[in-house]
Amino acid sequence: MKLKKYKAVLFLVAGLSGIQATAQLAPEVELYRQKHVNAHVVRLNQETRLDISLNSGNLQIAQHHLEEDLYLSDAAVNNSRRSLNFSSFFEMGDIKASSFLFEKNKFREYKVEDYRQKDELDNSFHDDTKSVNFIFPGLQKGAKSKLEYSETIKNPRFLMPFYFGDFFPVENNTFTVTVDKNVSLRFMQFNTQALKLEFSEEEKRGKKIYTWKATNVEEYENEAGSPTYKRVIPHVVPVISSYTHNGNTINVLNDVNDLYSWYNSLVKDLNKQEDDRELVNLVAEITAGKETELEKVRAIYYWTQKNIKYIAFEYALGGFIPREANEVFQKKYGDCKDNSSILHKMLSLAGIEGKLTWIGTREIPYTYSELPTPLVDNHMILAYRNAGKTYYLDATGRYIPLEYPTSFIQGKEALISNGDAGFEVEIVPVMPAENSAVIENTRLKIEGSDIKGSSKAQVTGYNKIRLFNELEGISNPAKVEEYYNAVFEKGSNRFLISSLEEQNKYEYDLDFILNYDFEVKGYAKEIGDEIYLNLNLNRDLSHYRTLKDRVNEIEYDYKNSFSYTTELEIPEGYEVAYLPANEEFDNDLIKAAISYSRKENKVIYSHDIQFDFLILDLEQQRLVNDLISKAEKAYKEVIILKKIKTS
């Protein structure tokens, strides 16, 4: 939805300039290797200078960036190829890049001579983003690189954050903002509490100068499952509140009212064209026979999900302005704004009000009140109200029931448009764990050392949506069976489905049902006149264990739950000699229980788990790991069947 701020991107490069490698290293290399034992690169210096001036009532904004790196290992070659992206909102200025190789006891400079520009269309169907690409010559262990580049920011709403750290150590950080005294700025700081941040403010020649400095910032761990780096790495975001010209104050982003006012100006003339007759007829057709407004909305919403393909667009203000519904309908594709546009129009044709809504996905940690700039959101949906309840319609999703928001906007603030009358900010609900369940009932019998069974799996909510999205990309029947073997595996990796039947596949409002037969060879252990069998065929708790040395929070897509019931047929001539004790495991994050009972010639096993979290901090991870350790002891328990002695 939004513009792409240009940035340096690292690539693996196979071949470089023919500069001769040398084994000679500057003394500082060993010093930094001792200081940063695991680092491959250290940033010696990073600076950003932001200059904001007022010229004849117009804001002029320029930035200059400096990056100086020292490479501590042979992985230096991986950093050789660089790319700087820019767009109509960020005009590229001068670029200077050089490598420095230590030769004859001093660093010798090798300037980059070849800069190549190209369009960037990899992730979008249409995009005005371009890039300048170049290669640092001869990078090797002990080399340095220096990159300077400038940019002009064309819209005062698009000031970008300055990050004081990265996933490599940074020795010196400096962020300087020089601003005309008639421009009112405020600065939002995030994740800086533990950082020794030096700040100074001064005034010179009608300019205010703000400076932040930080030194010796250790590298941040990039761990699997971590939430967005914006929740971890310290940064400052400058915001232009307003400016004064000829005695008049012009608001820019003083608060969320200003942000909404700009957003509303971009959509107020949307869909004023004459209605496409085919679209009018379609709406009448798909809502025919629907007795309630809610059912009409459901029909329109599902049609849009199924028939309008999601493709990202970014072209100047096209990254912010939805396209006309008529155009989206004819092309059958669009981005999040375009999907919202056609959905809004189709509801209107059915006499139903939907509201355009801006929202940030969960990768954006800010609220509208603390950071009312375009950095706060990156997505558009439609809000619909019925009987006091708000439905958050995101037609970019697939298989999303009307009652569910897409998982990546759960818990986020939604900026809901009321047109010129203003806006409302609401929080999208987080769906409870029981709404995304896997419920399995299994009948099991022992045949020699093998177990054979039949299961009915009922899959709901986000678990179902995830499964459908993955299945949609698998057409080969053998691959489908292979997929199900992986998803529903029981007991051991010798689990094998022998037959299966799908019910309600790709249905939006019905639970997905999978009936299947399976076997697990060699799973039962017979010793003498006893059979030992572990009925803990599914051990989902173990999948949530995190490493003890983890340093970051961990994030999950949604809350979910599992319920397993297994009926084991006691083999003829055997009796139950031992059933494990029932167990319960409980804290504020997880509720789980395992129980065993006997009924006639069957052993009944039940295992229920509820995961009630989206993000776990380090202390919560410890609590979860402690609970898992207790549960894993119970997972080792077996039942014992003993052969009945005959007289």
> Is 603 buried (19+), middle (13-18) or exposed (0-12) by CB count in 10 A?
buried
CA distance 201 to 178: 10
What is the percentage of the chain residues whose pLDDT exceeds 90?
89
* Structure token pair of residue 238: 């400058």
Residue 647 pLDDT: 63
Instruction: Give DSSP secondary structure letters for 578-605.
Output: E-PPPEEEE-SSEEEEEEEEEETTEEEE
Task: State pLDDT tens for residues 568-577.
Answer: 999 999 999 9
Task: State pLDDT tens for residues 523-550.
Answer: 999 999 999 999 999 999 999 999 999 9
CA distance 412 to 502: 35
Residue 314 pLDDT: 57
Q: Is the pLDDT assigned to residue 508 strictly greater than 80?
A: yes
* Structure token pair of residue 312: 């990202």
Domains of the chain, CATH where assigned: 27-251 (2.60.40.3140), 259-427 (3.10.620.30), 433-643 (2.60.120.1130)
CA distance 89 to 315: 10
What average pLDDT does the structure give for the chain? 93
Residue 317 pLDDT: 52
Helix (H) or strand (E) holding 153: strand 144-153
Residue 516 pLDDT: 98
Residue 69 pLDDT: 98
* Alpha carbon separation from 413 to 241, 428, 553 (Å, rounded): 21, 6, 21
Average pLDDT over residues 612-621: 98
Residue 587 pLDDT: 96
Task: State pLDDT tens for residues 78-120.
Answer: 999 999 988 778 899 999 999 999 999 999 999 999 999 877 5
CA distance 443 to 565: 9
Residue 319 pLDDT: 66
Residue 21 pLDDT: 45
Residue 349: CB atoms within 10 A of its CB come to: 19
646: pLDDT confidence band, cut at 50, 70 and 90? confident
Among 83-87, 489-493, 559-563, the range scoring the smallest mean pLDDT is: 83-87
CA angle 136, 139, 141 (to 5 degrees): 155
9: pLDDT confidence band, cut at 50, 70 and 90? very low
Residue 124 pLDDT: 39
What is the percentage of the chain residues whose pLDDT exceeds 70?
94
